A and B are shown apart, each in its own frame.
Chain A
Amino acid sequence: MMENAWLIPLFPLLSFLILLLFGKRLKKASAYVGIIFTLASLIFSILVLFERFSEPTYMTKFEWLTIGDLHLTAGFEVNQLNALMLFIVSLVSFLVHTYSKGYMNGDERFPVFYAYLGLFTFAMLGLVLSPNLLQTYIFWELVGVGSFLLIGFYFNKEEAKAAAKKAFIMTRIGDVGLFIGMILLFWETKSFEYSEIFKAVDSGAVSGTMITLTAILIFIGAVGKSGQFPLHTWLPDAMEGPTPVSALIHAATMVAAGVYLVAALFPLFLASKTALLTIAVIGAFTAIFAASIGLVQTDIKRVLAYSTVSQLGYMMLALGSGGYVAGVFHLMTHAFFKALLFLAAGSVIHAVHTQNIEEMGGLWKKLKLTGPLFLIGTLAISGVPLLSGFFSKDEILIAAWEGGHPILFLLALIAAFMTAFYMFRLFFMVFTGEARSEMKHVHESPNNMTFPMILLGVLAIVAGYVNTPWFGSFFGDWLVDGNPALGHGHIEGPIWIMIAATVVSLLGIYVAYLMYFKRSLSRNWLSGTGDTLHTILLNKYYVDEFYQLTVIAFTKGFSYFLRFIDVFVVEGLVKGVVGIVQGLGKTGSKMQTGQVQTYGAVAFIGLALLAVIFALTGGYLR
């Protein structure tokens, strides 16, 4: 089965092509095309995953491009991480395909939507199958395009257009980091292939500074894709896209690609303490930074988006602290519960046609299925014991502590508190209390929307049990099998960390309960401490404004400066030359007196000049 893993990405590609060419004729049937092909991918992925449990890594390659003596290859590789990612991506993609059939019903560009989804799924699956950096980069960019197209799906909305553009350009900034890092690494190791790179790094053929440099550059790529600080601003804006897209791309798969990349290149990062520390610091900072913004947002999807950024920061923190398993584990559980949250949010939006949580409320009774499912997701992300998020978050905290970063550990703990708080704030505001605006025709979503949510809800509960301190760390052991460098499947940590994590999250829930359910604590408790803080948070620390005033203003200014040069200096030079030539011409025409004698004299003087030069130089250019 593994040797046929290359088929997995091809199914969605096929779906993309079919829908692009015949979408107009297929109309509603487009959904079935997409669903069937992704189902095929999912089945194959499951088969591959199960086969990978028992068999070693499979890899194959062929020559893709010849450059003189350099032979660049393409191919695919099925190792533990890849197999796991294949499963996650194809599962979420399949569920989102199913869900969208209901959610996008009635949109006139229904087939196009499915085509784009196919393209994205193809790229994402291709990304996780890549055995070398170049191929990774190729799919990395394609994933970006898929995301770009889907964010801008409602193309006649100005916000969607701006968000799509922003997403593409901001991730591209990160991609350039990856691009440079990749090329530098290539010239150091003479290969793009992961295995060759690790070999070269192990043998010490690459200097320490170079490892650090390339590792950080590659991490910049991950920063862009995974929405880490300071390139995070595109991710919340990306919520302009249809909600299923947010679930697929901006929660479960693409944004996790950054984490995946760091994980895939983990041996490289392990070789550089500085790079690891950078990752850990950025991860931790992003986690708390995004969580704090999430505290005050009022758009349901934006809250989830900031929570995604924050959770991705968690994963980065785990990887940066050397907790390979913790990072990947959280990546998996997060994929499930965040996809669930987004789909549930989508279901809510579908029902009430607004995204502003200030206008919602009291939906628990109206959405009998969505409500509990949303609660499951909220509990999971808050790290309430016995749900998947609890185990993976615990692993991360332990990894941070054991990695020797007490400050980062503390930040992560605070972020956990905030997460619990804002998630339950969201939950209480949406589902409890009284409706804060007129809401007509509120109804539960159709089956094809609830089915994916239920499946994800189940996974959000149970996915954690594959790797727990109590029932064995089967998952972690398998993940690091054959790669001792990646660390242990499970890191033993002091028991108080688990207790602390639990207490913190429960505390967060309790505060949210007081403020938004019982209303015994003033809702303006935060703003009470100072309007300034609230304003700053509401404006996302003014990062966008900062970019607007610095980078974009600079670019524009520089462009206008260059245009000034183009119009006045370059054109001016040309005009000057033209003027000189015209002047010469005028002088020349004045000299045309019409007198043969003058002409003869001038011609003769010219001849004499030539003759003298000839006589003096011998007439041959030396």
Chain B
Amino acid sequence: MSSVPASAFLALALILFCIGLYGALTKRNTVIVLISIELMLNAVNINLVTFSKYGMTPSITGQIFALFAICVAAAEASVGLAILIALYRTKKTVNIDEMNTMKN
């Protein structure tokens, strides 16, 4: 029916996810780390929507889940940023190296 196979979408999602992951694990700037996490969430959403169309039993549920995911991502972004600002206030930096209070 469609000329683009489901696996193409999945592969795209995979690539985006990997990019996000790489960013989240290597970047020093906390804001960028947060952005990378958003990117990963987006990749997941692509998967949800893809399966909503190409899955074993296609249904609208996938899209609804994507909506929920977006919703949660929005909440996460806001809280994450709030934490970031709170931290910045005390540490005067957004460098992730400085955020090692878990050690002690």
Q: Tell which of B21, B24, B100 touches A595, judged by Cβ atoms closer than 8 Å.
A: B100
Q: Say yes or no: B103 contacts A594, CB within 8 Å.
A: yes
Shortest Cβ distance from A599 into B: residue: B102
Residue of A nearest to B24 (CB): A600
| A592-B103 contact in complex given A600-B25, A604-B25, C-beta closer than 8 Å | yes
Could you tell me if A595 and B25 are in contact, using CB atoms closer than 8 angstroms?
A: no
Q: Of A593, A594, A597, A604, which is within 8 A of B33 by CB?
A: A597
Kindly state whether residue B79 has any CB partner on chain A within 8 Å. no
Query: Cβ of A596 < 8 Å from any Cβ of B?
Result: yes
Cα(A574)–Cα(B21), bound, Å: 43
Interface string of A561-605 (1 = CB under 8 A from B): 000000000000000000000000000000011111101110010
Residues of chain A within 8 A of B24, CB atoms compared = 597, 600
Which residues in window 15-71 of B have CB below 8 A to A?
21, 24-26, 33
A595-B96 contact in complex given A600-B25, A601-B25, C-beta closer than 8 Å: yes
B99 contacts A596, CB within 8 Å? yes
Q: Is the CB of B100 within 8 A of A593?
A: yes
Judge whether A593 and B103 touch: CB under 8 Å. yes
Task: Point out the residue from A595, A599, A601, A604 that lies within 8 Å of B97, measured CB to CB.
Answer: A595
Distance between Cα atoms of A453 and B99 in the complex (Å): 104
A593 partner residues in chain B, CB cutoff 8 A: 100, 103
Interface pair A594/B100, CB less than 8 Å apart: yes
Alpha-carbon distance between A593 and B103 when the two chains are bound, in angstroms: 6
Task: Give the contact-size bracket for chain A.
Answer: 10 to 19
The verdict on B101 contacting chain A, using a C-beta distance below 8 Å, is yes
Across the interface, do B25 and A594 meet the contact criterion of CB distance under 8 Å?
A: no
Q: Is B104 an interface residue (CB 8 A)?
A: yes
Q: Please report whether the interface of chain A is mostly helix, strand, loop or mixed according to DSSP.
A: helix
Cα distance A600–B36 in the bound complex, in angstroms: 14
Number of A-B contacts (CB under 8 A): 28
Cβ distance A588 to chain B, nearest Cβ, rounded Å: 13
- Distance between Cα atoms of A592 and B100 in the complex (Å): 10
How many Å lie between the Cα of A601 and that of B24 in the bound state? 9
Who on chain B is nearest to A597 by CB?
B96
Mark interface residues in B71-104 (1 if CB within 8 Å of A CB, else 0): 0000000000000000000000000110111111
What CA separation (Å) do A597 and B102 show in the bound complex?
A: 11
In the assembled complex, the Cα of A596 lies from the Cα of B99 at a distance in Å of 8
For window 492-549 of A, CB contacts with B under 8 Å fall at none
Give chain A interface residues in 45-97, CB to chain B under 8 Å: none
- CA–CA, A201 and B50, complex, Å: 90
Complex contacts, B33 vs chain A, CB 8 Å: 597
Which single residue of chain B is at the shortest CB-CB distance from A595? B100
Q: Is the CB of B96 within 8 A of A594?
A: no
Bound-state Cα–Cα, A604 to B25, Å: 9
Closest to B30 in A: A597
Taking a contact as CB atoms under 8 Å apart, the answer to whether A604 and B102 are in contact is no
Contacts of A601 in B (CB 8 A): 25-26
B101: A residues at CB distance < 8 A: 594
- Closest partner residue, chain A, to B104 (CB atom): A594
Q: Which residue of B lies closest to A603 (CB)?
A: B25
Contacts of B97 in A (CB 8 A): 595
Residues from chain A with a CB closer than 8 A to the CB of B99 are 595-596
Q: Complex Cα distance A592/B99, Å? A: 13
| In the complex, chain A residues whose CB is within 8 Å of the CB of B100 | 593-595
Instruction: Give the chain A neighbours of B96 by CB distance below 8 A.
Output: 595-597
Instruction: List the A side residues contacting B104 at CB < 8 Å.
Output: 594
Q: Which of B25, B97, B103 has the most chain A CB atoms inside 10 A of its CB?
A: B25
Residues on A with C-beta less than 8 A from B103 are 592-594
Distance between B70 CB and nearest chain A CB, rounded to angstroms: 23
Residues of B within 8 A of A595 (CB): 96-97, 99-100, 102
Chain B residues whose C-beta falls within 8 Å of the C-beta of A600 in the assembled complex: 24-25
Give CA–CA (A592, B102) in the complex, Å.
9
The answer for the CA separation of A592 and B103 in the assembled complex, in Å, is: 7
* CB nearest neighbor in A for B101: A594
- Give CA–CA (A599, B103) in the complex, Å: 11
Minimum CB–CB distance for A232 against chain B, Å = 78
Q: Which residues of A contact B (CB under 8 A)?
A: 592-597, 599-601, 604
Q: Shortest 8 CB-CB distances between A and B: which pairs?
A: A594-B103, A594-B100, A594-B102, A601-B25, A595-B100, A597-B96, A600-B25, A593-B100
Starting from the known contacts A594-B103, A597-B24, A604-B25, 14 additional A-B residue pairs (CB-CB under 8 Å) come to A592-B103, A593-B100, A594-B101, A594-B104, A595-B97, A595-B100, A596-B96, A596-B102, A597-B25, A597-B33, A599-B102, A600-B25, A601-B25, A604-B21
24 cross-chain CB contacts under 8 A: A592-B103, A593-B100, A593-B103, A594-B100, A594-B101, A594-B102, A594-B103, A595-B96, A595-B97, A595-B99, A595-B100, A595-B102, A596-B96, A596-B99, A597-B24, A597-B25, A597-B26, A597-B33, A600-B24, A600-B25, A601-B25, A601-B26, A604-B21, A604-B25
